[in-house]
């Protein structure tokens, strides 16, 4: 959530900052702002509400801002309404904070995250003569830095360190001091930040796509660390003010990977990338029939309990992972929402494994759950997509999916890559524990998935036609049993998050326990029927809702043609091992959600009120 960028170098900063913010629009925001310094001159601050185009118009695409050092921000409102006054950057001086112009202020800064004790800190600063123009927690942090800087007559690193000790919460902080031209100071706790270096210039961002056009050489700043950034230089410090050494990391994907590539929306591009993503993730872990996820064989044998912890679509991957893992290995699995797991007072099995699934590797609740597991002495294994992310670095073991940059807020290809990771984990665990005698047939089925997904994508026009009928739909219900219910959870989420149509997924066997009362004439019910042992039972449930006036869509395996006697519209998926059906059945559900949202004129890549990476509670 939110996006930060920064630049100090030899070129004009404004256009570079705006370009970076454009690449971070997918993170979600409701206002934006820039602060640029020209040598020792005071910073010039420009803010706007709404889309980034307003800020571009105000600054002539950044060209109107003189200077080679600056910071920028896209804000997702948490503390304070989405107004120009509350937009970042914030300053330590007592200005209105609303208008463009030069700002005589010691400290100017932007911040991602939430400061939990900002009211307490604000009261302290009020007692020391500070006044406040905004409703944000960020203004409090900037003025607290200013307070320590002036009171103790110390340098920026020490002032920021004292501030970090006092604040509670999460932050990626980016600050400029009037006494230090062409320098930017940053600090981080539980909120993502990367620093890129190239050709004597330095870039800061909350995610890689913002700087890919300029460099692929990056530093990952660790938790509770700070950095002093000059053109082409980065110096890192711990909370004690001691300098720490870091190695540059090379980002492996290209700038082109974060472009639309001729598609109207990133979401459609990413849907079509799933065959490649599935193959790449599979082949990164399987060589010559041997699965290597970086997990110790002896430790896998000792596991008595598995906890899968995640949020959103990653949680739905976990639900599928639960069905598959328990069926193939016999090891009990519990799937937990990270936001619940971190606060529950439950006894954790010592011989357990906690699996954390997160595309970004920065999801706040998932990261907190990981730390809770480690505090209890439980081994952790993370499945993430972003190299060097917090969850990847802090977990005992990590498996990187090969989805590449995913820009659309609604996940598609990262979800598919995570499914492959969970399948491989289950197969490997079954192999080690001798519940799977021969992994070859299962791996061969996985190898066939990319081609089968391609076949489904070739049939997308039928789904586009069906979606065109859903423009005025108010409610949609998804039903399935077993693994099909898990698939329905993701299908329902995709529809509601980008089309804003209310949808719910229900275990089909629960219909008689209340849900069936919601069925009325014309209500769309989507049934998922991919599990042979449960097909007839789910079909019976669909007959039930049809008799009460429901309009039916079915997602079923090729050969299940009897469904056509009941369903009004059917999508067939290629046959595969039932454990892997989720990788195929989700494709028509993604396409249905996409075409429905497009038909309703919605912003598919940036749905309202949502952000790509939820880095705060």
Q: Catalytic residue numbers?
A: 2, 612
202 phi and psi angles, rounded to 5 deg:
-130, 135
Angle between helices 413-432 and 582-599 (to 10 degrees): 170
For residue 244, what are the β-bridge partners? 236
The tokens for 379 are 């081994």
Q: Which of 526, 504, 528, 496 is nearest to 593 (CA)?
A: 496
The tokens for 215 are 């460099």
DSSP 607: -
338 phi and psi angles, rounded to 5 deg:
-60, -35
Report the distance separating Cα 89 and Cα 109, nearest Å: 5
Beta carbons of 355 and 423 less than 8 angstroms apart:
no
The tokens for 394 are 């802090």
Distance of CA 409 to the CA centre of its chain: 8
Which helix (H) or strand (E) segment is 33 a member of? strand 31-37
First-to-last CA distance in the chain? 11
Report the distance separating Cα 484 and Cα 586, nearest Å: 10
CB neighbour class for 472 (10 Å; exposed up to 12, middle 13-18, buried from 19): exposed
Query: What is the sign, positive or negative, of the torsion defined by CA atoms of 598, 602, 603, 604?
Result: negative
Q: Cα dist. 492→268, 362, 550, 608 in Å? A: 18, 24, 17, 17
Q: Is 574 helix (H, G, I), strand (E, B) or coil?
A: coil
Report the distance separating Cα 296 and Cα 396, nearest Å: 11
Which helix (H) or strand (E) segment is 309 a member of? strand 305-310
Beta carbons of 541 and 511 less than 8 angstroms apart:
yes
Q: Cα dist. 27→30, 112, 222, 613 in Å? A: 11, 11, 21, 6
User: How many other C-beta atoms lie within 10 A of the C-beta of residue 63?
Assistant: 12
Report the distance separating Cα 509 and Cα 173, nearest Å: 50
Report the distance separating Cα 150 and Cα 145, nearest Å: 9
Report the distance separating Cα 56 and Cα 15, nearest Å: 9
Distance of CA 256 to the CA centre of its chain: 20
Residues ≥6 apart with Cβ < 8 Å to 149? 106, 107, 156, 159, 177
Q: Cα dist. 216→61, 255, 327, 434 in Å? A: 24, 9, 42, 43
The tokens for 301 are 């044998």
Which helix (H) or strand (E) segment is 227 a member of? strand 225-230
Q: What angle do CA 337, 342, 344 make, to 5 degrees?
A: 90
DSSP string for 420-436: HHHHHHHHHHHHHTTS-
């Amino acid at each position: 959530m939110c996006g930060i960028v920064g630049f100090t170098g030899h070129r004009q900063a404004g256009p570079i900052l705006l370009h970076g913010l454009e690449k971070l629009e997918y993170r979600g925001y409701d206002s934006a702002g820039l602060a640029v310094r020209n040598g020792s001159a005071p910073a010039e601050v420009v803010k706007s509400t709404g889309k980034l185009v307003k800020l571009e118009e105000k600054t002539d695409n950044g060209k109107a801002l003189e200077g080679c050092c600056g910071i920028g921000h896209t804000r997702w409102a948490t503390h304070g309404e989405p107004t120009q006054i509350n937009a970042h950057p914030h300053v330590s001086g007592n200005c209105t904070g609303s208008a463009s112009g030069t700002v005589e202020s010691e400290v100017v800064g932007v911040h991602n995250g939430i400061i939990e004790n900002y009211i307490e800190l604000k009261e302290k600063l009020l007692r020391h003569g500070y006044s406040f123009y905004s409703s944000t927690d960020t203004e409090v942090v900037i003025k607290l830095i200013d307070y320590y800087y002036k009171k103790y007559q110390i340098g920026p690193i020490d002032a920021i360190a004292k501030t970090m000790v006092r604040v509670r919460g999460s932050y990626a902080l980016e600050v400029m001091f009037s006494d230090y031209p062409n320098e930017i100071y940053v600090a981080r706790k539980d909120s993502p930040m990367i620093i890129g270096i190239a050709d004597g210039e330095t870039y800061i961002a909350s995610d890689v796509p913002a700087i890919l056009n300029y460099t692929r050489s990056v530093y990952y700043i660790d938790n509770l660390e700070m950095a002093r950034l000059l053109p082409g230089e980065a110096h890192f410090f711990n909370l004690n003010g001691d300098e720490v050494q870091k190695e540059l990391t090379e980002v492996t994907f290209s700038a082109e990977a974060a472009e639309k590539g001729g598609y109207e929306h990133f979401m459609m591009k990413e849907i079509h990338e799933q065959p490649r993503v599935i193959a790449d993730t599979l082949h990164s872990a399987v060589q010559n029939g041997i699965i290597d996820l970086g997990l110790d064989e002896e430790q896998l044998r000792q596991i008595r309990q598995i906890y899968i912890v995640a949020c959103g679509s990653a949680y739905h991957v976990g639900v599928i992972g639960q069905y598959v893992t328990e069926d193939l290995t016999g090891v009990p699995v519990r799937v937990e929402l990270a936001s619940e797991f971190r606060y529950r007072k439950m006894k954790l099995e010592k011989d357990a494994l906690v699996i954390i699934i997160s595309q970004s590797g920065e999801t706040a609740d998932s990261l907190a759950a990981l730390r809770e597991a480690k505090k209890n002495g439980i081994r952790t294994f993370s499945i993430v997509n972003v190299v060097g992310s917090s969850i990847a670095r802090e977990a005992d073991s990590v498996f990187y999916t090969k989805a590449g940059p995913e820009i659309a807020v609604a996940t598609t290809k990262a979800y598919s890559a995570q499914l492959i990771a969970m399948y491989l984990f289950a197969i490997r665990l079954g192999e080690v524990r001798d519940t799977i005698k021969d992994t070859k047939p299962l791996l061969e089925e996985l190898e066939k998935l990319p081609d089968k997904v391609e076949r489904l994508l070739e049939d997308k026009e039928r789904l586009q036609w069906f979606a065109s009928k859903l423009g005025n739909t108010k409610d949609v219900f998804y039903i399935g049993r077993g693994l099909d219910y898990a698939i329905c959870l993701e299908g329902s989420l995709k529809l509601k998050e980008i089309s804003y149509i209310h949808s719910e997924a229900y275990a089909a066997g629960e219909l008689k326990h209340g849900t069936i009362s919601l069925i009325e004439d014309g209500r769309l019910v989507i049934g998922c029927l991919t599990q042979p042992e449960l097909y007839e039972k789910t079909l019976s449930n669909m007959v039930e809702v049809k008799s009460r006036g429901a309009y039916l869509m079915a997602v079923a395996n090729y050969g299940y043609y009897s469904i056509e006697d009941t369903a009004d519209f059917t999508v067939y998926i290629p046959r595969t091992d039932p454990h892997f059906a989720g990788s195929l059945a989700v494709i028509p559900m993604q396409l249905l959600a996409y075409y429905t949202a497009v038909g309703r004129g919605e912003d598919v890549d940036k749905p309202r009120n949502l952000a790509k990476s939820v880095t705060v509670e």
